[in-house]
């Protein structure tokens, strides 16, 4: 072990340690502000059929690698979803997955020619979503992924396949009727989410904010009486409300529009078109409403009219 050899090694360590340089944003769970404006423009040209999408695909991808359509042709897909959101993306005890996002992901995969057995579901945290798409950890993401301008810089969005609204989950019998009533109350949300901040900024400056790591923790705290309300998108909250029948309920005053999109590689126009076509078909043949009814219907969540794609 020659001391001389240590120089570069040590220097390398220092460099590695200190060069933790500029990083991709660990972004918020749902960026509210820009969602509405972003909705329509994303899926322009989505009307083109999946068939023509395949034809375009060869030259269509910007990142050099194969586009979604080619990957699907190989028979397997890696799809990013949430594992811990009842009604949307939940890992069941038998290892299977259930929820509306899962159904949409599976339907789209099938339209792209990939059977359920060829799908590998991958757990993606909110803050990892852009990075996972950019470096190919997943082929596309269906995980309550709101379409925003900031995110469109990094990924392509297909959809929206669903429009959710920010809402409040409260205990049965609570006197909270809307975000304005949160003044002097305790509101729970996950760390890094902007939805709680929005309530504070727009509706109730006097609200006290509690942050936990996951919505499940917030909901436990709500059920235990430690917080007065939980806020995020209504469809997410509906899943939890269904888990606590007679105990927790949705306030039902949606106060924002969250356009859920399917995120895929930036510049993959062919893939985006193909996914849009699949979503459109899912809405048209009634599978969309059926999936929603099966997953969040039991909570009393009113199935909305499907969003317009493109």
Residues in the site for other proteins, rule: CB under 8 A? 1-3, 6-7, 9-11, 13-14, 16-17, 19-28, 83-86, 90-95, 123, 125, 127-128, 131-132, 134-135, 137, 183-186, 191-192, 206-214, 216-217, 220-221, 223-226, 228, 243-244
Q: CB-wise, 172 or 284, nearer to other proteins?
A: 172
Contact 200, 134 (CB under 8 A): no
Q: How far is the CB of 77 from other proteins (least distance, A)?
A: 17
Q: CB-wise, 47 or 183, nearer to other proteins?
A: 183
Q: How far is the CB of 63 from other proteins (least distance, A)?
A: 12
Strands 186-190 and 208-212: parallel
Q: CB-wise, 27 or 111, nearer to other proteins?
A: 27
Q: CB-wise, 11 or 303, nearer to other proteins?
A: 11
DSSP, res 146: B
**What phi and psi, each to the nearest 5 degrees, are found at residue 176?**
-80, 125
Q: How far is the CB of 56 from other proteins (least distance, A)?
A: 27
User: Using CB atoms within 10 A of its CB, is residue 149 exposed (0-12), middle (13-18) or buried (19+)?
Assistant: middle
Q: How far is the CB of 129 from other proteins (least distance, A)?
A: 9
Q: How far is the CB of 153 from other proteins (least distance, A)?
A: 12
Q: How far is the CB of 306 from other proteins (least distance, A)?
A: 27
Tell me, rounded to whole angstroms, the distance of Cα 41 from its chain centroid.
19
Between helix 100-111 and helix 287-296 the angle, nearest 10°, is 150
SS3 content of the chain, % helix, strand, coil (to 5): 40, 20, 40
Between helix 234-243 and helix 215-223 the angle, nearest 10°, is 50
Q: CB-wise, 36 or 210, nearer to other proteins?
A: 210
Q: CB-wise, 135 or 308, nearer to other proteins?
A: 135
Identify the CA nearest to 70 among candidates 88, 85, 55: 55
């Amino acid at each position: 072990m020659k001391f001389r050899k240590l120089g570069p090694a040590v220097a390398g360590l220092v460099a590695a340690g200190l060069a933790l340089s500029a990083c991709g944003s660990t972004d918020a769970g749902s960026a509210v502000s820009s969602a509405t404006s972003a909705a329509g423009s994303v899926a322009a040209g989505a009307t083109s059929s999946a068939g023509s999408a395949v034809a375009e695909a060869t030259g269509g991808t910007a990142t050099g690698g194969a586009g979604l359509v080619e990957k699907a042709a190989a028979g397997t897909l890696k799809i990013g979803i949430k594992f811990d959101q009842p009604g949307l993306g939940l890992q069941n005890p038998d290892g299977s997955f259930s929820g509306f996002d899962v159904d949409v992901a599976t339907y789209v995969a099938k339209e792209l020619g990939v059977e359920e057995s060829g799908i590998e579901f991958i757990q993606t945290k909110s803050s990892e979503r852009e990075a996972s798409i950019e470096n190919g950890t997943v082929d596309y993401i269906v995980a309550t992924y709101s379409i925003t301008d900031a995110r469109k810089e990094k990924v392509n969005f297909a959809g929206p396949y669903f429009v959710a609204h920010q809402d409040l989950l409260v205990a049965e019998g609570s006197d909270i009727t809307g975000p304005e009533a949160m003044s002097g109350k305790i509101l729970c949300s996950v760390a890094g989410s902007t939805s709680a901040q929005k309530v504070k900024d727009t509706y109730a400056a006097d609200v006290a904010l509690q942050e936990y790591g996951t919505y499940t923790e917030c909901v436990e705290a709500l059920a235990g009486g430690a917080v007065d309300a939980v806020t995020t998108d209504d469809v997410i909250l509906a899943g939890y409300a269904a888990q606590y029948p007679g105990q927790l309920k949705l306030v039902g005053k949606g106060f924002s529009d969250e356009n859920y999109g399917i995120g895929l590689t930036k510049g993959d126009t062919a893939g985006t078109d193909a996914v849009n076509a699949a979503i459109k078909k899912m809405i048209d043949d009634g599978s969309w409403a059926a999936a929603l009814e099966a997953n969040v219907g039991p909570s009393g969540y009113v199935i909305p009219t499907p969003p317009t794609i493109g």
